[in-house]
């Protein structure tokens, strides 16, 4: 399994999160609801639904990460060694450099968007979650990403290393922010 310098990994994840946050604040915050909620096709998600989906995951993972870090105080390690499950989840989630997805997948029903919520509320929650994620990434520099474990959303009894959870979560965000951008472009809102 791949290994990473813990400090460099956290810096990279922090930068990816800042980039996502900058895009949402700078480009999407003032997009009218009708464009943000416009589906590119009947069976495709709108930008609004993409962010709702990410918000659903954030509602689980952000408190779970915070709780796990507080419950497992440890000194930071030099290296983070990805686990097989975390590495697999990140690999299948992370879009390639060309934006292509390694695998298409269906969202678990508990995390799929159920109704159309006003876009400004969805975006505001997403921004708040990204700011919280940045704080958690900063706090993670003071713990061992190998030793802190977090239960996964679909089966909390199954735990992954904190570093893997961060990598999966941010790969998942990159995937759906790109999808939201495509939906906005399709709606005429210039989302890329």
- For residue 112, what is the DSSP state? S
Average pLDDT over residues 138-165: 93
Going by their DSSP bridges, the two strands 79-81 and 149-152 should be labelled as unpaired
User: How would you class 31 by CB atoms within 10 Å of its CB: exposed for 0-12, middle for 13-18, buried for 19 or more?
Assistant: buried
Which of the pair, 91 or 162, is modelled with greater confidence? 162
Domains and CATH numbers, the chain: 3-187 (1.20.120)
The tens digit of pLDDT for each residue in 16-66 reads 999 999 999 999 999 999 999 999 998 899 999 999 999 999 999 999 999
Dihedral sign from CA coordinates of 125, 64, 170, 94: negative
Residue whose C-alpha is closest to residue 191's, from 43, 36, 53? 36
User: Any idea which of 24-28, 100-104, 145-149, 169-173 has the lowest mean pLDDT?
Assistant: 100-104
Tens of pLDDT along 155-192? 888 999 999 999 999 999 999 999 999 999 998 866 55
**Contact call for residues 63 and 69 (beta carbons, < 8 A):** no
Residue corresponding to tokens 């290296």: 79
Band (pLDDT 50/70/90 cuts) for residue 135 is: very high
Instruction: Give percent of the chain with pLDDT exceeding 70.
Output: 90
Looking at residues 101-107, what average pLDDT do you find? 61
pLDDT at 124 over 80: yes
Average pLDDT over residues 126-140: 98
pTM of the model: 0.91
pLDDT at 190: 60
**Residue 24 DSSP symbol:** I
Of the candidates 76, 55, 26, 74, the one whose C-alpha atom is nearest the C-alpha of residue 169 is 55
Q: Using the 8-state DSSP alphabet, how is residue 111 labeled?
A: G
């Amino acid at each position: 399994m791949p290994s990473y310098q813990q400090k460099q990994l956290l810096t990279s994840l922090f930068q990816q999160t800042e980039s996502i946050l900058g895009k949402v604040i700078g480009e999407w915050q003032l997009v009218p609801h009708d464009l943000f909620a416009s589906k590119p096709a009947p069976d495709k998600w709108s930008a609004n639904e993409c962010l709702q989906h990410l918000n659903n995951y954030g509602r689980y993972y952000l408190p779970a990460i915070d709780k796990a870090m507080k419950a497992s105080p440890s000194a930071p390690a030099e290296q983070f060694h990805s686990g097989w499950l975390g590495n697999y989840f990140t690999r299948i989630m992370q879009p390639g450099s060309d934006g292509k997805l390694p695998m298409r997948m269906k969202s678990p029903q508990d995390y799929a968007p159920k109704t159309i919520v006003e876009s400004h509320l969805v975006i505001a929650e997403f921004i708040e979650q990204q700011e919280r994620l940045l704080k958690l990434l900063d706090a993670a520099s003071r713990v061992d990403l190998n030793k802190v474990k977090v239960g996964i959303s679909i089966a909390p009894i199954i735990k992954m290393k904190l570093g893997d959870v961060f990598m999966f979560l941010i790969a998942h965000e990159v995937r759906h922010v790109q999808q939201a951008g495509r939906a906005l472009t399709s709606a005429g809102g210039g989302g890329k």
